[in-house]
Amino acid sequence: MNPRAWLAVTLAIAAGLAAVALLRRRAAGRPAWRRFFRHPPAAIGIALLVSVTALALLAPLAAPYAPAAQLDIIGLQNQAPSLLHPMGTDLYSRDVWSRLVYGARISLAIGALAMAVAVTVGAVVGALAGYFRRSVDAVLMRLVDVGLAVPRMFILLMIVALWEGLSLPMLVLVIGLTGWFATSRLVRAEVLSLRERGFVESARALGASPARVIFRHVLPNAAAPIVISAALGIGNVILLESGLSFLGLGVAPPIPSWGNMIADGASELATAPWSTLFPGLAIGLVVMALNAVADALRDALDPSQETA
């Protein structure tokens, strides 16, 4: 670690704390945000997520070494954590901290993008099924039944293994397209009740097209389940990516992702446990922060379902 890296870490932590302070100040006048900050873990979660994101953005500053650089394959293999290498080095003498920082970029980006795909498809399908009902609803929901019947990991394994050497954008797309089933069910339920409300009827009476009614009037009011499943979805995708990469089917080395770092370290578990432990801890902390934020969001956006 050099002073530049320490500076980047300090900056990232400061960004996280500042974000929470800013949000808290804005929360003062708004009941939903006040309910959100009634959960202490949610504030910690936001701080952590902003810090990790900042660190990922600042990766060239925060990482003292290039993520794939093999420093000294003979002399610096499997070094224990020290001041120079705060998380040790791995089998190929690469600095684990540098890889972790660059891996955050990949893992977070895959999580956010795949979730965006899943939530978009889920929201649109759910809205179509709930708004048009009858045959549209029946067909789409039977499709969802089938999608939910096969474990997601299993579909992913099949697609990724059969189409060898899937590019990163395709991987994101595939993960996203296998993750919208549950979201569409939630959105559909919300839309079914919304469509009977007066303002939807007025919009229709004014001659608004179905597309306009759905996107301008119905979906914005169904934001709660969408936002919550988005927060949970990112965490889920990060876990899935790590599982796929662990089997050697996710992000291909030498690009570091938290999942393939665990996979690389697993063979050296007995001699260099740090190269496995730290990426796993990083996944655990980020997913935990996302789950805590989702819990608080549920409380903030939907006071009827208080979870205490």
Applying CB under 8 A, the residues found at the interface with other proteins are: 41, 142, 145-146, 148-154, 157-159, 161-164, 235, 239, 242-243, 246-247, 259, 262, 266, 269-270, 273, 276-277, 280, 283-285, 287-288, 290-292, 307-308
Sign for the pseudo-dihedral over CA of 215, 218, 224, 229: negative
Residue linked to tokens 């009037």? 217
Contacts of 180 (CB under 8 A, 6+ apart): 117, 118, 119, 120, 121, 122, 125
What is the C-alpha separation between 124 and 146, in angstroms, rounded? 18
Q: Tell me if 235 sits within 8 A of 175, measured CB to CB.
A: no
**What is the closest distance, in whole angstroms, from the C-beta atom of residue 225 to other proteins in the complex?**
17
DSSP string over 159-213: HHHHS-S--HHHHHHHHHHTS-HHHHHHHHHHHHHHTTSHHHHHHHHTT--HHHI
Nearer to other proteins, 8 or 249 (CB): 249
| CA angle 169–170–176, rounded 5-degree value | 95
For the CB of residue 158, give the shortest distance to other proteins in the complex, in Å: 6
Rounded to the nearest whole angstrom, what is the least distance from the CB of residue 191 to other proteins in the complex? Answer: 22
For residue 44, the minimal CB distance to other proteins (Å) is: 10
Residue 18 or 266 with smaller CB distance to other proteins: 266
| Smallest distance, other proteins to C-beta of residue 56, A | 18
d(CA 246, CA 250) in angstroms, rounded, equals 7
Q: Could you give phi then psi for residue 89, rounded to 5 degrees?
A: -125, 160
Q: Which C-beta is closer to other proteins: that of 163 or that of 199? A: 163
Complex with other proteins: residue 6 or 163, whichever CB lies closer: 163
Q: Which residues contact 287 (CB under 8 A, 6 or more apart)?
A: 235, 238, 239
Question: 198: closest CA among 220, 223, 226, 218?
Answer: 218
Closest separation between CB of residue 155 and other proteins, Å? 8
Q: Which is nearer to other proteins, 149 or 205 (CB)?
A: 149
Q: Which is nearer to other proteins, 68 or 157 (CB)?
A: 157
Q: Which is nearer to other proteins, 10 or 267 (CB)?
A: 267
